[in-house]
A = this chain, B = another copy of it.
Amino acid sequence: MQLTGKSLIAGHWEKGSELGFNAINPALNTPLSQTYYNATEQLIEKAIEEANSAFAVYSLLSANQRAEFLRKIADNILDLGEQLIDVCNQETGLTKDRIVTERSRTLHQLTLYAQQIESQEYLPVFEAADANRKPLPKPDIRLGYIPLGVVGVFAASNFPLAYSTCGGDTASALAAGCCVIMKAHTSHPGTSELVASAVLKAIEECELPKGVFSLIQGDDYQLSTKIVKHPKVKAIGFTGSERVGMILQRQVYDREDPIPFYGELGSTNPQFLLPSKLSENPEQLAQLFVESVTLGQGQFCTNPGLWVVLKDEKDNDSYTRFSNMCSEKIKVKQAGVMLTPDIAKDYQRSVDNFKQLDGVMCIAHGQRAKFEHFCAPALFETNVKTFLNSQELRTEVFGPCAVIVLCESFKDVIRVVDNMKGNLTASIHANQSDREHVMFLSHKLANKVGRLIYNQMSTGVEVCGAMNHGGPFPASTDIRSTSVGNESIKRFQRPICYQNMPEDFLPCLLKKC
């Protein structure tokens, strides 16, 4: 397939303006040849109007029809074959193996959500009429869930397939019965165009209205504002930085009608390492921790960026062994390519800054980079007081970097928890002898995270029915929602009650069809 650089507006590939941008090959730090054209506000208007018209049809389809559509999309993404892997590799610097794995996850999400809606997990609640009830007869009442409307989705840079064009947000919105306006990420526009073509093919195969899905290309922030503020857009899904996320959140606040804004904005994913566990096998733990923080160049939202270690006062040795092994493992790590040169620059700036901070010690730094757009892992150590006084140390660094906060007492550990912002995840590493601490800590931490883990690292997110990928702000702007797993579909639906309504007039979800 020949890439065009155009946006997909309700079935038509449109150039929009002559202005455009080129993606960067981050491995080479050079622009790629294809230009992608900025969509215009008029095109976005058209996409949203068409999405709104399509919604009247798409929202009334049966679960089976929507499921068939999702499966066709999955088939068509797979059919893109090697071209998708190649283009994505050039645009993101991710290895082909990683991209193939991510593609599997993307297809899995689509088919899992298809199964989920077919299984009708949201069985409606019925309350039968009772004509003889006193003082008043009871009417027939049925509660069901219907889709919200047109959903705007903003793609993530770090999951060019699984959280972009037809990633988790799009898949769950389409499963819910919503139509999608997708703002492609500027770091992988070719990947986005390919996936959008797979969605369009599925729309044609299922004979759906073309407005069900549109893809907006462009590097002009006004385009995002246009989507977020449009009265016919009824929910937003976003994965990205706290800075950009909060700009969009505030634009949502400016609307006349409040709509849900599902932003996943950042997380340090603290690892709590308790003394008895630490003393078991410090070297093995160190390897586990270093592997996790350097996985995929530390560019996962669940990257463990904060290690809160409680030392046993009578056992200095275990922590020294842990720290030495971490240092040994990190020092030999090669610098690697980051998703974009800007991410590399931000990462390097944070690491350089940490090195300057009073009370912060650099334990280890990986092999120096050959190029400035390559980054190496780094590990720092500090004490509780320094940590609590430093806004910077408590903020997520996107990349393979972690800060160890060394605690002298359990009280110190709790002070860290009490001063923690919200997180996607936290892990407690402990054994039976740490039992009392775990009991207290797990209840405390439950109110600070979306997922609480025992003796496992935070990287690796199961896409399944029991997953929650969210949590208190800034992990998520909506603590009541998950962006991964079957429950993510519910974000894009809302309750409706039908009273005394003949079966003929009920929508599909409230009757057999």
> Chain A: residues with CB nearer than 8 A to chain B?
56, 60, 124-127, 136, 138-139, 141-143, 146, 148-149, 249-250, 253, 256-258, 260-261, 422, 435, 438-439, 442-443, 446-447, 449-456, 460, 462, 464-468, 470, 472-474, 477-482, 485, 487, 493-502, 504-505, 507
Q: Point out the residues of chain B lying under 8 angstroms from A124, CB to CB.
A: 466
For residue A493, which residues in chain B have a CB less than 8 angstroms away from its CB? 480
Q: List 14 A-B contacts (CB under 8 A).
A: A60-B443, A124-B466, A126-B466, A257-B474, A258-B477, A446-B496, A446-B507, A452-B496, A452-B497, A454-B498, A454-B500, A468-B497, A480-B493, A480-B495
Greatest chain B CB density within 10 A among A142, A455, A496, A501 is at: A496
* B-side contacts of A438, CB under 8 Å: 505
Q: Are B468 and A495 in contact (CB under 8 A)?
A: yes
A466 touches B136 (CB 8 A): no
Residues of B within 8 A of A465 (CB): 125, 127, 143
A501 and B454 contacting across the interface, CB-CB below 8 Å: yes
Return A49 CB to nearest CB of chain B, in Å: 13
Chain B residues with CB below 8 A from A125, complex form: 465-466
Q: Which B residue sits closest to A490, measured CB to CB?
A: B480
Are B143 and A479 in contact, with the CB atoms below 8 A? no
Whether the Cβ atoms of A466 and B504 lie closer than 8 Å is no
Q: Which residue of B lies closest to A458 (CB)?
A: B499
CB of A497, distance to nearest CB on chain B (Å): 4
Are the CB atoms of B497 and A466 closer together than 8 Å?
A: yes
- How distant is A246 from chain B, measured CB to nearest CB, in Å? 9
Checking B127, B443, B453, B454 against A466 with a beta-carbon cut-off of 8 angstroms, the contacting residue is: B127
Cβ 8 A contact of A479, one of B141, B148, B443: B148
- Which one, B138, B422, B442, contacts A462 given CB within 8 A? B138
User: Measured between C-beta atoms, what is the minimum distance from A240 to chain B in Å?
Assistant: 16
Q: How far is the CA of A374 from the CA of B34 in the complex (A)?
A: 74
Are the CB atoms of B56 and A443 closer together than 8 Å? Answer: yes
Assembled-state Cα–Cα distance A361/B1 (Å)? 65
Task: Give every chain B residue within 8 A of A443 (Cβ-Cβ).
Answer: 56, 60, 507
Known contacts A146-B447, A258-B261, A454-B505; 9 additional CB pairs below 8 A are: A139-B462, A143-B465, A143-B487, A146-B446, A250-B253, A253-B253, A260-B480, A479-B494, A481-B495
CB distance A495 to B478 under 8 Å? Answer: no
Instruction: Tell me the minimal C-beta distance from A351 to chain B in angstroms.
Output: 27
The one of B257, B452, B474, B482 that contacts A472, using a Cβ cutoff of 8 Å: B257
Cα-based distance from A493 to B480 in the complex (angstroms):
7
For the complex formed, measure the closest distance between the CB of A63 and the CB atoms of chain B, giving whole angstroms: 17
Given A443-B507, A494-B479, A466–B142 Cβ distance below 8 Å?
yes
Contact indicator B450/A495 (Cβ below 8 Å)? yes
Chain B contacts for A253, CB-based, 8 A: 250, 253
The 7 closest A-B pairs by CB, nearest first: A468-B497, A257-B473, A143-B466, A451-B497, A141-B466, A127-B466, A125-B466
Known: A125-B466, A143-B468. A499 touches B454 (CB 8 A): yes
